Amino acid sequence: MSQQKSRLGGHILVDQLVAQGVKHVFCVPGESYLAVLDGLHDANIEVTVCRQEGGAAMMADAHGKLTGEPGICMVTRGPGASNALAGVHIAKQDSTPLILFVGQIERGMREREAFQEMDYRAVFGTQAKWVTEIDQVERIPELISRAFHVATSGRPGPVVIALPEDMLVESAEVADAPRYEVIESAPAAGQMAELQKLLAEARNPVAILGGSRWNAQAVAQFADFAQRHALPTAVSFRRQMLFPADHPCYIGDVGLGINPALAKRVADADLILLVGGRMSENPSQSYTLLDIPVPRQKLVHVHPDSAELGRVYRPTLAVNTSPAAFAQALSDLKAPARPAWADDTRAMRESYLKWSDPASITTPGRLQMGQVMAYLESHLPADAIMTNGAGNYATWLHRFHRHTRYGTQLAPTSGSMGYGLPAAVGAKRVRPDKTVVCFAGDGCFLMHGQEFATAVQYDLPIIVVLVDNGMYGTIRMHQERHYPGRISATALKNPDFADYARAFGGHGERVETTEEFGPAFERALASGKPAILHCLIDPETISPSTTLQKIREAALKARQ
Ligand SMILES: Cc1ncc(C[n+]2csc(CCOP(=O)(O)OP(=O)(O)O)c2C)c(N)n1
Ligand SMILES: [Mg+2]
């Protein structure tokens, strides 16, 4: 081995990140990992210093989703690590590659409950794909190399690495590990022919796309396959960017608030081609669309993790490969001259177009969210990145925004509130040339509202559409359904969010009517600053299709 120069542990670690191709780090500093921060001082890496570790981890998750490469997050021990868990959970449920570095107490103090001591293997054990602690400075290159492979291979996910403080200040002479490569796979011999046979026998097939390990090329390849087969294609919960909404085969999303015609279509299908997704609780409509363990529909399940195949649903054909490799293989499939289901695809498409037309929606109050969506649909560039957290406000985005490009959606399938703002900040940092719009509720926004300061600090002109109904609306909706009229712990008294934006050094607008939205959006764009459009909707506007009063009345009537 060639002679290496001696380096500090913290510096070896940063050099490994550079060697693995890392360009961005999202962090909140801590005294537990000063040697790493010192390494970052001279590295060719953009560092985003955040206001709370949950936000930092969510920014790293956004990076992982947009690039397919692990998002890197650095936090301090105990309290920092606890905050970061919020983002680790998102990365797990969304199958996002992410590596979280956590400062750790000195090795010699372990097991005494030293200051901020935590057992990270226990704390993150159920959420991360792998948790480790680097005990020997010489092993940093080996373990970092492994972390990149684990985070990106099979079903991607989060890796957590604890860094004992005293290890980071030891020195060693070690070589850098070469850059990782994502481990690829392919359908097994004969499986594509088997799929062709199943398609030839089908009368009512449907495709559902989900998960991660897609890319723009794979989306185009699948779209081409769908076109040749006139195959009705849906996407899973919060995975709208996996299929172009302007494609004649696109029939909508199998998520929360599903188009009833689409739910019926999936339930009645004789063949489901499930690519990348898991058909978990939300897309499966609480595990009702497919029987468990043997679905009534024939199921072709394509997934990069063999452990996922047969875990809940017994597939007719299990293809253990990534969506990208599968999409590539589809080009060899010959399509029937005129698929038997072509008319059905057209009918489902019509149903989707009607379902996703915001112009026909009328709700109580002077600010019509349907019209706001119609405005955005005609004014946003096709490559605008849309982000959100959790809340009923997100329905407007998911149902009416037509994603036509890959890499335009950051939406947590874990339903984590507070994700939209940090995701927008992370997205704008990674893709500064793109328009980035965050949808947030009044509840959702303030869960990580402090990251608006990060947007200002790095001059990131994101636009937040903040939908304020003065409550945790989703929970109020459930209350009215199950305990009508008994409002408990769901009302919120909010700040003036336009003033909030200005106080941070951003641009703020108060929007109370439909007519005010467009000009306010234009001014926000023109300001060149991070902006908040404080949209005050009528609290009765709980969804595009109903009001709180109607829900309450229906619940009371059902009790009589
Ligand atoms: C971190 C987190 N805490 C709590 C919840 C439960 N929850 C789901 S939606 C919601 C209310 C969201 O309120 P808001 O952002 O104002 O949106 P709205 O439903 O009012 O449109 C809550 C509390 C959650 N999903 N995530
Ligand atoms: Mg709300």
Q: Give the C-alpha separation, 236 to 242, whole Å.
A: 9
**Residue 473 Cβ contacting ligand 1 at under 6 Å:** yes
Q: Give the C-alpha separation, 153 to 151, whole Å.
A: 6
Question: How many other β-carbons are positioned within 10 Å of the β-carbon of residue 67?
Answer: 17
**Is 511 within 8 Å of 496 (Cβ atoms)?**
no
**Is 386 within 8 Å of 416 (Cβ atoms)?**
no
Q: Residue 16: in which H helix or E strand, if any?
A: helix 9-19
pLDDT of residue 132: 98
For every residue of 233-299, DSSP letters joined together read EEEETT-GGGS-TTSTTEEEEESTT--HHHHHHHHH-SEEEEES----TTTTTTTTSS-SSS-SSEE
pLDDT of residue 338: 84
User: 306 vs 95, 300, 315, 366, 547, CA distance in Å?
Assistant: 14, 14, 12, 52, 44
Bridge partners for 250 per DSSP: 233
**Residue 449 Cβ contacting ligand 1 at under 6 Å:** no
Which ligand 1 atom sits nearest the alpha carbon of residue 444?
Answer: 15
* Tokens representing residue 31 in the block: 């005294």
**Residue 474 Cβ contacting ligand 1 at under 6 Å:** yes
What are the residues whose beta carbons fall under 8 Å from the beta carbon of 137, sequence distance 6 or more?
A: 9, 12, 167, 168, 170, 171, 172, 174
- Name the residues around ion ligand 2, CB cutoff 5 A: 441-443, 469, 473
Distance 421 CA to ligand 1 centre (A): 14
pLDDT of residue 4: 81
pLDDT of residue 308: 97
* Tokens representing residue 47 in the block: 């560092």
Q: Give the C-alpha separation, 393 to 539, whole Å.
A: 11
| Mutation test residue for ligand 1: of 388, 444, 477, the one with most atoms within 8 Å of CB | 444
Q: Give the C-alpha separation, 371 to 352, whole Å.
A: 18
Residues 417-430, buried b or exposed e (16+ Cβ, 10 A)? bbbbbbbbbbbbbb
Instruction: Name which of 257, 60, 240, 249 is nearest 156 in CA terms.
Output: 60
Confidence (pTM): 0.98
* Tokens representing residue 537 in the block: 């909707």
* Tokens representing residue 89 in the block: 């959970």
Distance 26 CA to ligand 1 centre (A): 25
| Mutation test residue for ligand 1: of 393, 417, 494, 536, the one with most atoms within 8 Å of CB | 417
Residue in this structure with the two tokens 């499986």, named with its chain if needed: 191
Distance 427 CA to ligand 1 centre (A): 22
User: 505 vs 205, 308, 311, 456, 527, CA distance in Å?
Assistant: 53, 47, 50, 6, 11
Q: Give the C-alpha separation, 156 to 93, whole Å.
A: 10
For every residue of 25-73, DSSP letters joined together read EEE---GGGHHHHHHHHHSS-EEEE-SSHHHHHHHHHHHHHHHSS-EEE
Distance 466 CA to ligand 2 centre (A): 9
Ligand closest in space to the Cα of 489: 1
Q: Name the residue at shortest CA distance from atom 3 of ligand 1.
A: 417
User: 36 vs 85, 149, 164, CA distance in Å?
Assistant: 21, 21, 11
Instruction: Name which of 30, 77, 83 is nearest 60 in CA terms.
Output: 83
Distance 258 CA to ligand 2 centre (A): 21
Distance 32 CA to ligand 2 centre (A): 38
Q: Give the C-alpha separation, 237 to 270, whole Å.
A: 21
Distance 324 CA to ligand 1 centre (A): 33
Cis peptide before 232 (omega within 30 of 0): no
**Residue 469 Cβ contacting ligand 1 at under 6 Å:** yes
**Is 469 within 8 Å of 541 (Cβ atoms)?**
yes
Q: Give the C-alpha separation, 533 to 372, whole Å.
A: 12
Pinpoint the alpha helices (H) of 392-510: 393-400, 420-430, 442-447, 452-457, 473-482, 497-503
Q: Please, what is the end-to-end C-alpha distance for the chain in angstroms?
A: 82
| Mutation test residue for ligand 1: of 474, 476, 480, the one with most atoms within 8 Å of CB | 474
Which ligand 1 atom sits nearest the alpha carbon of residue 394?
Answer: 21
Q: What is the mean pLDDT of each run of 10 residues along the chain (560 residues)?
A: 82 98 98 97 98 98 98 98 98 98 96 96 97 98 98 98 98 98 95 96 97 98 97 98 98 96 98 98 97 98 98 98 98 86 97 94 97 98 98 98 98 98 98 98 98 98 98 98 97 98 98 98 98 98 97 95
